[in-house]
Structure 1
Amino acid sequence: MGKRNRKLAKDKAPKKIEPKKPKGLTTDAFQNVLARMGLGTPNLMEGTEYPLTRLTNDYQLMNSLYRGHWIIRKIIDTIPEDMTRNWISITTQLPPDEIRKLDKLWRVRRIRQKILQGLKWGRLYGGAAGLIMIEGHEDILHEPLDYDTIMPGSLKGLMIVDRWSGIYPNPELVDDLDDPEFGLPESYQLTLEEGQTMKVHHSRIIRFMGRELPYWEKLAEVYWGASEVEVVYDELKKRDNTSWNIAQLIFLANLRVLKMKDMDQVLSIGDERAQRDLYNTVTAQNWLMSNMGLYVLGHEDDFATHQYTFSGLNDIYESFMLDIAGACQIPVTKLFGRAPAGLNATGENDMQNYYEIVQQQQESTLGPILDKLLPIMCMSEFGAIPDDLDYIFNPIRTPDDKEVADLADKKTKSIIETYNAGLISQKIAMKELKQMSDTTGMFSNITDEDIENADESTHQGELGFGGDIDYGGLMGSETPYRASLPQSDSTGVNKFRRVLDRFRRRLGNS
């Protein structure tokens, strides 16, 4: 009997409730069941979830935010505009007049503006594309682009479409390991405004991507990326709700309270006429109230005001602004147009970090686009592609006048010293000065005819490689064996200096 009773008591005893372990999570974490703290315990923190929303697919939401929300518009536009603002410098051995032809092609065909538009739509919708329009290729868009079929002057620009309005990737992927677009769609279905659909080979398409995604998510987005709005959407809701609540509190900043004796009885048991008279009386006094008016009260009535304090609200509001700026990688000073806060704050460190982010975006996003476009532009303009065709991104930050003057002075001295050392000819030196005009604004009056008339030979100085050698005082200002050394020819130097003087006088008269 004793064993049986003990068994029954054991069966009736309440079972210990073990905390539910979340699926897919490891159990090597902190846990305090009695205090309801840690993994799997019933507390507010453990109720947090991060569902997969894929806001990029909400086309109407993207359009509404871009059209109606100034913060979203700045987030989408700011980085692409800075990426393309100072553009690139082509570093090939082409003559300056040939490089100017390429610069004119950017402008005439508005290729730079189209690239900027594609970058914006790629950031907003997660993806966009640009069709390279070449005259005479209308019927062979499904074939790979052959540079030899590009006739002079046949490049007509770009046609930009976003991923929801005109272009859809085909399922076949690029399997050529030498192709830079290996693993991406081999062709696209392009829909024109007339409703006509055509197949376009990927070599004729420029891709503008949003934020990169893992493999399976990239498949879910049909080889496009994620919109920038996804990253900042939750932070944007916090900021907007806080801003609207602060605006609503302004209406409650000064509450006026009227205490009336027996008002509750008038409202509860009084007839409709008495209630209406009371309402009309209070309404009339409210309309007549001003800093020069009177408020008539009964003997036992009372009137009071209560002011609301807004201390601390600004700190909360600025915290949400910082979260938005951090999510979109744009400094608060640039995104919201605010002055740097704090003692001795200049915002230079924030802007330097931002410039590095833009430079990284130029290399990863804008670089592949230019690598694809520049050879096509050269074939359309010159009929050939230079072997040394390359480019560099110009500095994002625009220097002020003093910095430009210092830069021009240093560059000019470097060119003259290199010329005096006999390493370059007068013609090359003048080409360098002419090319320097793009960044400094100086020596822009040097014409191609002046460059052609310049001397192509290099003069030889002391020791056979230039004149005016500085020995740092180790051997004095002159060598005792100067007569036995070849003397430098100053004719070329004087001629070059006369040319510079002529241009300085021309600049002074203009």
Structure 2
Amino acid sequence: MAWITDSLRTAIGSVAGLNPLNRAATALPNVFTHQLALVAYMSSGMLRKVIAIPADDRVREWRDWQASKDDIALIEAEEARLGLQAKVKQAEVLRGIGGGALILITAGDHAQPLKPEQIAQGGLVAVNVVSRWQISGRNWIRDLASPDYGAPTMWEVSSNGKQTPIHPSRVVCFRGEPIPAGGTVSDEDAFWGDSRLLRVYTEVQRADETQGWFAALVRKAKLLRIGIPDLDSMDEDRIAKRVGLIAEGEGILNATVFRSAGANGDAGETVTDYQVTWTGIPAVMDAFDQRVAAVADIPFTRLMGRSPAGMNSTGQHDTDNWNRAVASGQNLETKPCLNQIDPILLRSAGVAQPDEVTWKFAPLWTPTEKEEADTFKTTMDAVTALMNTGAIPEEAFNKGVQNLLTEREYIPGLDQALEEVPEAERYGGMAEPTAADLGGDPSAIAGQPRTTVVAGDAAHFFADAKPRPLYVQRKLLNADELIAWAKSVGFTSTLPAEDMHVTVLYSRTAVDPIKMGESWNENEKGEIAVKPGGPRAIERLGENAVVLLFASSELSWRHESMVRAGGSHDYGDYQPHVTLTYEAPAGIDLDAIKPFTGRLLFGPELFEPLDLDWKSKVTEA
């Protein structure tokens, strides 16, 4: 039996090296140091993704510069010449593996300090990437009172078989998270910090082994179980020949050749196919990969490149969380490194005033045109509501709105156009009028009362800004359409077209008309339009007025702003409406009438003294 066992062991062991599980178990070492991290990175596709994805996303959209067009062109050209974006990505990959650095190459002795003031245009010759295993520190600073505690006083880079000294001011280090200090941690390890690769190595190894088991299971799905009579009486050579013959038949003829049962109770050889149950295997594999994603702190959908699973899943939550994580890494790790490079880069690019240039990382996600339009509308609605409160002085408010529009780039070229506008006009401030402005009227210059046109309508004006009861209205410019509709639904008479209007303010309280300000949402002609549709109603107001009620946030906000500025309102809640008639036919069923749903176009605001006897002047046609 010992001889038979040894023969089987030899036959099986001769092909043991072909087992993928054996290879997977030794592909990555169980315990390794930073020096072996690069080997692990190169041997596992999953490890590569875990390290490369954060590095790629941090620099994918790169930077948005805040400077003049000419300076931005110079900076971008210099970055392209140096290949800075790609090299920062390489350094970020090395940060994830165990640490890396960018070496700033200029003319002169690299062992000497590098000061930005020394750099002329084109003075930054090159930016090169090295890993922590290519560069070593000398004379580590251990003085706790030093701001450079834990850093070396000089670096050395191995190049062409010799050590080249590099001053720390020329080395931009991409370091990992700090390692807890202790007696077993070397100066090098303490400086470069932790490796993201080491953090996820165990979970990636398990996931890779699971993949190896699954691959072996796929191969095993075609496994044959061969029963050979009197196997224990065969020698090693006969076993090998018999198994080889069966395998040859499988490979050449796609058929299994074996000895069938014979006479005299000869059972013959038996061949049994191995049955594999696949149920649940994909879920188990996903569980290992999800563990990798959790430890790597990368969303599973991003790591695996798969659509989210589950009903109504969009993956937007994962995407938002990942974008926030990337932005955090950009600001806490990548940006400090770039801030070391920029004073040198800007001067090498030829920027005249580098200290005035700023930048920020470009957004990782770009909204669609519809999303941008919705955001703009929401923002402008909020701006309008804020303006209508009157809480912010006009000039300060205009400055804030212009800054908002410029920073968010809602209107391309707005900042350049505003720079061409005189300061006194740019923010809505009114310069003191000159004699030429007032037609040479010396009394006006002397501070005497002069005619003031309110709301841009020359037919309705006040001679001064003396407080008085005030009425503000807007004429309905398309009144003919509303009158035609009213006649079609049973109204025998209506107000004349020229009298149809919407009241904006009816103030018995005396107010200064100038303090009422101006409307925000009107067009260049002073008009506002209420879009077709929306909530509409036909109702009676007072004793016999029949009106068309409609919704308009612009008119409601405008009315509210006038009340806040001192006006009054004597009719309860303000509801925009147009009066149709004061002589509705007897028996008309207003509830059965479908309201007018067309567009309502109103003209400029008309400011007038309040006329308490207006009812006696009403006529209908």
Give, in angstroms, the shift of residue 309 of structure 1: 1.0
Q: Which residue of 2 aligns with 1:337?
A: 305
Q: Which residue of 1 aligns with 2:565?
A: none
Q: Which residue of 1 aligns with 2:56?
A: 81
Confirm whether residue 128 of structure 1 aligns to residue 100 of structure 2. yes
Kept after mapping to 1: 8 A contact 2:178/2:191: no
TM-score (norm: length of structure 2): 0.55
Q: Per-residue CA shift, 1:136-191, capped at 9, x if unaligned?
A: 4x22x3333333222233233412111112x2111242869685x44322221133
Kept after mapping to 2: 8 A contact 1:89/1:391: yes
1:311 partner amino acid: T
Q: Which residue of 2 aligns with 1:316?
A: 284
Residue number among 157, 164, 167 corresponding to 1:190 in the alignment? 157
Q: Is there any run of 5+ residues in structure 1 with no aligned partner, and where?
A: 1-50, 496-510
Confirm whether residue 397 of structure 1 aligns to residue 369 of structure 2. no
Kept after mapping to 2: 8 A contact 1:239/1:320: yes
Q: Which residue of 1 aligns with 2:71?
A: 98
Give, in angstroms, the shift of residue 304 of structure 1: 4.8
SS class of match (1:307): coil
Give, in angstroms, the shift of residue 369 of structure 1: 0.9
Give, in angstroms, the shift of residue 378 of structure 1: 3.4
Q: Which residue of 1 aligns with 2:84?
A: 111
2:78 partner amino acid: L
Kept after mapping to 2: 8 A contact 1:461/1:486: no
Would the alpha carbon gap of residues 222 and 461 (structure 1) be closer, same or farther in structure 2, given more than 3 Å must change?
closer
Give, in angstroms, the shift of residue 425 of structure 1: 8.4
Kept after mapping to 1: 8 A contact 2:246/2:257: no
2:322 partner amino acid: Y
Q: Which residue of 2 aligns with 1:358?
A: 326
Would the alpha carbon gap of residues 143 and 443 (structure 1) be closer, same or farther in structure 2, given more than 3 Å must change?
same
Give, in angstroms, the shift of residue 279 of structure 1: 7.7
Give, in angstroms, the shift of residue 117 of structure 1: 1.4
Confirm whether residue 225 of structure 1 aligns to residue 167 of structure 2. no
Confirm whether residue 377 of structure 1 aligns to residue 345 of structure 2. yes
Give, in angstroms, the shift of residue 276 of structure 1: 6.8
Would the alpha carbon gap of residues 85 and 415 (structure 1) be closer, same or farther in structure 2, given more than 3 Å must change?
farther
Confirm whether residue 158 of structure 1 aligns to residue 127 of structure 2. yes
Q: Per-residue CA shift, 1:225-264, capped at 9, x if unaligned?
A: 233221122222211221111111122225555667xx32
Would the alpha carbon gap of residues 459 and 390 (structure 1) be closer, same or farther in structure 2, given more than 3 Å must change?
closer
Q: Per-residue CA shift, 1:391-429, capped at 9, x if unaligned?
A: 4333333333433444466678999999x9544889x95
1:244 partner amino acid: G
- The residue correspondences of 1:261-272 to structure 2 (distance < 5 A) are 263-264=229-230, 268=233
TM-score (norm: length of structure 1): 0.65
Would the alpha carbon gap of residues 377 and 423 (structure 1) be closer, same or farther in structure 2, given more than 3 Å must change?
farther
Kept after mapping to 2: 8 A contact 1:144/1:204: yes
Give, in angstroms, the shift of residue 303 of structure 1: 5.9
Q: Per-residue CA shift, 1:8-44, capped at 9, x if unaligned?
A: xxxxxxxxxxxxxxxxxxxxxxxxxxxxxxxxxxxxx
Kept after mapping to 2: 8 A contact 1:174/1:185: no
Kept after mapping to 1: 8 A contact 2:150/2:191: no
CA–CA separation in structure 1 for the residues paired with 2:175 and 2:276: 49
Larger strand proportion, structure 1 or 2? Answer: 2
1:249 partner amino acid: L
2:105 partner amino acid: M
Would the alpha carbon gap of residues 177 and 443 (structure 1) be closer, same or farther in structure 2, given more than 3 Å must change?
farther
Would the alpha carbon gap of residues 214 and 250 (structure 1) be closer, same or farther in structure 2, given more than 3 Å must change?
same
Give, in angstroms, the shift of residue 213 of structure 1: 0.9
2:196 partner amino acid: E
Residue number among 157, 172, 184 corresponding to 1:206 in the alignment? 172
CA–CA separation in structure 2 for the residues paired with 1:122 and 1:63: 11
Would the alpha carbon gap of residues 281 and 127 (structure 1) be closer, same or farther in structure 2, given more than 3 Å must change?
closer
CA–CA separation in structure 2 for the residues paired with 1:277 and 1:145: 77
Confirm whether residue 386 of structure 1 aligns to residue 335 of structure 2. no
CA–CA separation in structure 1 for the residues paired with 2:30 and 2:217: 35
SS class of match (1:251): helix
Q: Which residue of 2 aligns with 1:31?
A: none
CA–CA separation in structure 2 for the residues paired with 1:478 and 1:103: 59
Give, in angstroms, the shift of residue 366 of structure 1: 0.9
CA–CA separation in structure 2 for the residues paired with 1:281 and 1:247: 24
Q: Which residue of 1 aligns with 2:34?
A: 56
CA–CA separation in structure 1 for the residues paired with 2:517 and 2:240: 115
SS class of match (2:100): strand
Would the alpha carbon gap of residues 70 and 443 (structure 1) be closer, same or farther in structure 2, given more than 3 Å must change?
same
Give, in angstroms, the shift of residue 482 of structure 1: 5.5
Would the alpha carbon gap of residues 459 and 482 (structure 1) be closer, same or farther in structure 2, given more than 3 Å must change?
farther
2:99 partner amino acid: G
Would the alpha carbon gap of residues 239 and 476 (structure 1) be closer, same or farther in structure 2, given more than 3 Å must change?
same
2:132 partner amino acid: R
Kept after mapping to 2: 8 A contact 1:174/1:186: no
SS class of match (1:210): coil
CA–CA separation in structure 2 for the residues paired with 1:390 and 1:285: 71
CA–CA separation in structure 1 for the residues paired with 2:516 and 2:250: 107
Q: Is there any run of 5+ residues in structure 2 with no aligned partner, and where?
A: 1-28, 388-392, 433-453, 456-472, 474-502, 526-621
SS class of match (1:198): strand
Residue number among 138, 146, 150 corresponding to 2:115 in the alignment? 146
CA–CA separation in structure 1 for the residues paired with 2:315 and 2:289: 16
Would the alpha carbon gap of residues 269 and 89 (structure 1) be closer, same or farther in structure 2, given more than 3 Å must change?
closer
Confirm whether residue 173 of structure 1 aligns to residue 141 of structure 2. yes
CA–CA separation in structure 1 for the residues paired with 2:239 and 2:168: 82
Q: Which residue of 1 aligns with 2:461?
A: none
Kept after mapping to 1: 8 A contact 2:175/2:191: no
Residue number among 227, 230, 250 corresponding to 2:218 in the alignment? 250
Aligned length: 410
1:144 partner amino acid: P
Question: Pairwise CA RMSD of aligned residues?
Answer: 4.7
Q: Which residue of 2 aligns with 1:44?
A: none
CA–CA separation in structure 2 for the residues paired with 1:188 and 1:200: 5
Give, in angstroms, the shift of residue 273 of structure 1: 9.5
CA–CA separation in structure 2 for the residues paired with 1:275 and 1:199: 64
- Stretch deviating more after TM superposition (98-107 or 353-362): 98-107
Kept after mapping to 1: 8 A contact 2:220/2:274: no
1:154 partner amino acid: G
Q: Per-residue CA shift, 1:407-454, capped at 9, x if unaligned?
A: 466678999999x9544889x95x9867655xx7x636x796x66644
1:98 partner amino acid: D
CA–CA separation in structure 1 for the residues paired with 2:246 and 2:180: 69
CA–CA separation in structure 1 for the residues paired with 2:129 and 2:61: 22
